[in-house]
Structure 1
Amino acid sequence: MRIEHVAIWVENIDVMRKFYEHYFEAEVSGLYENPKNQFKSYFLTFQDKTRLEIMQQATVTQRVDNKHLGWAHLAFSVGNRVNVDELTRRLIEDGFVCQNGPRITGDGYYESVIEDPEGNLIEITE
C-alpha cells in the first residue's frame, strides 16, 4: 500500500504551482477546471513520483489559524546537509520565511522549516 497523493486547498493556485515547480522541481499536470463548481486543480509530481494536488475553489477562502488539528507540514528530503543548506539559503534570499534551521532536531534529523507562499510549513530534510 502507498499514499497515492495528498491535496491542499490554496488561495492562489498559480503562485503555489510556480513555488513547488521552481524550488522542489515538481512536474505539473495540465490545469483541471470545473467552471460549474468554480474549482481548479493541478497535480504536482516530484522526482520519486509522489504527488501533491493543489486545489482552489471560490467558496474555500479562510484558514482557521496557524495552529489547528490536521496536517502540520509537508517534508521534502533533498539527500544531504549541503542540499538542505543550499535550498534553505535560496528560499531565504528569495524572501520566504524560515521558521528555524538548518539544525539538528531533538530526534536527530537535520532540517530547516520554511513557509510556502501561503504560510504552509515545509520541512527540508537531508
Structure 2
Amino acid sequence: MKIEHIAIWVNDLEPMRRFYETYLGATANDKYTNEQKQFESYFLTFPDSTCRLELMRRPDVQGTPRETIGYAHIAFALGSKEAVDALTRRLEVDGYPLIDGPRTTGDGYYESVLLDPEQNKLELTI
C-alpha cells in the first residue's frame, strides 16, 4: 500500500501552483475544471516521488488555515542538510515566514518549517 495523493483546498490556485513548481520542483498537470461544480484543480508531481499533491479550489470553500485537529504539515525530503539550509534561506529571502529551524530535532531529524503562500506548514527535511 502507498499514499497516492494528498489534497488541500486553496484560495488562489495559480499562485499556489507556481510556488510548488518554483521552490519544490513540482510539475503540474493540465488544470481540471468542472464548471457545473465551480471546481478546479491541479495534480502536482515531485521529482523522485510517487505521491502527488492536489491543489483544489471551489468558491464556496473559504477560510484561512489555522492550527486544528487534522493534517499538520507536508514534509519534503530534500536529500541533504545543505539542501535544507539553501531552500530555507531562499524561501526566507523571498518573504516566506520561517516558523522553526533549521535544527536537529530531539528525535534526530534535521528540518526547518516554513509557510507557503496560504499559510500551510511545509517541513523541509533531509
Match of 2:59 in 1: 58
| Unaligned runs of at least 5 residues, structure 2 | none
**TM-aligned CA deviation for residue 11 of structure 1:** 0.4
**TM-aligned CA deviation for residue 62 of structure 1:** 1.3
Describe the superposition over 1:55-84 as per-residue Cα deviations: whole angstroms up to 9, x where unpaired: 000100113x51111100000000010000
Match of 2:103 in 1: 103
Match of 1:112 in 2: 112
Distance, in Å, in 1 between the alignment partners of 2:69 and 2:59 is 23
Distance, in Å, in 1 between the alignment partners of 2:10 and 2:115 is 13
Superposition misfits of 4+ residues, deviation over 3 angstroms: none
**TM norm structure 2:** 0.97
Match of 1:82 in 2: 82
| Unaligned runs of at least 5 residues, structure 1 | none
Match of 1:32 in 2: 32
**TM-aligned CA deviation for residue 108 of structure 1:** 0.9
Q: Percent identity?
A: 50
Describe the superposition over 1:88-113 as per-residue Cα deviations: whole angstroms up to 9, x where unpaired: 00000000000011001111100000
Q: Secondary structure at the match of 1:76?
A: strand
Match of 1:42 in 2: 42
**TM-aligned CA deviation for residue 49 of structure 1:** 2.7
